[in-house]
Amino acid sequence: MTEPVFTVEQARYRYRDRVVLDGVSLTVRAGESVALVGRNGCGKSTLLRLLTGADRPESGRVLLHGRPAYAQRRRDVARQVAVLHQQLPPVPGLTVRQLVAQGRYPHRGPLGMLWRPEDAEASTALAATGVTGLADRQVDTLSGGERQRVRLALALAQRTPVLLLDEPTTFLDVRHQLEVLSLVRRLHTERGLTVVTVLHELDHAARFTDRVVALAGGRVRADGPPGDVVTPALLADVFGVRGRVFADAHTATVRALADEPLEEE
């Protein structure tokens, strides 16, 4: 069994007066591909922030390689974990190549200079995500699908063993959703990355990851292989819908079909 990358023990987190996470526990081991699923506002993105140490739990522990994530220096965390956020920050006038090169910041020397090998890493990230041809384009001229690939290139340029993705398919059409998730899946396989992805679509979680963690009511309601976790009971308990689950021979995964919303208790 591989070593734990993230260890979450009875983590509790409150935002203002609302408890977002209430006693969450889970372990993510090296080389795993994990999907976090659940309704809007269930704490998926909050859990990602706890994993990186950007936020601190009110109680409980969140460890990165055995040490509290929030207590580690930001640059040290960035050398271990890359994060694909939901949106790019405003970057007027910046080219794709210049933006992706910013992913090398954790590896800069004391004067902030980049070595040639680090320039090569940025070029490698551009090639891996299929955006080399966009390298000299300004970021604010890109389409939604192109921006998403550039965001992924920015994360890959950090050259970390761990990749966290916060809703990577947001604002994308079906074609671009499949392209981005297929690319992440391929990089996970080829590079042996540890990947944790926040996803809304259960079908995407079942097809493109090996483990599904479902959150509801601030707690982990289910955790395991997609074929074990994605069930009609999960649709009702976590998503509040009546639905069906069936095997898909084409993708060798399970598919979920929501039929109707259940009445709120």
pLDDT digits (tens, 9 = 90+) for 138-174: 998 998 888 889 999 999 999 999 999 999 988 788 9
User: What is the structure's pLDDT at 26?
Assistant: 98
pLDDT band at 121 (very low <50, low <70, confident <90, very high): confident
**Of 147, 54, 166, the residue nearest 96 (C-alpha):** 147
Pairing of strands 194-198, 81-84: unpaired
Tell the CATH topology of 1-80+163-265.
Answer: Rossmann fold (3.40.50)
Cα–Cα distance, 22 to 212 (Å, whole number): 19
Please answer whether residues 153 and 130 qualify as being in contact, where contact means their C-beta atoms are separated by less than 8 angstroms.
no
Tokens of 26: 């889970």
How crowded is the C-beta side of 253, counted as CA atoms within 13 Å? Answer: 18
SS3 label, residue 83: strand
Tokens of 255: 């598919």
Q: What is the pTM for the complete model shown? A: 0.93
Using one digit for the tens of pLDDT, what is the confidence trace for 208-259?
A: 999 999 999 999 999 999 999 999 999 999 999 999 999 999 989 999 999 9
Q: How far apart, in Å, are the Cα atoms of 213 and each of 43, 218, 219, 239?
A: 12, 12, 10, 13
Instruction: Please say whether the dihedral angle defined by the alpha carbons of residues 240, 244, 246 and 251, taken in this order, is positive or negative.
Output: negative
Q: Where are the alpha helices (DSSP H) in the chain?
A: 44-52, 74-78, 96-101, 116-128, 144-156, 174-191, 202-208, 226-229, 232-239
Tokens of 61: 């522990």
Q: Where in the chain is the domain with CATH 3.40.50.300?
A: 1-80+163-265
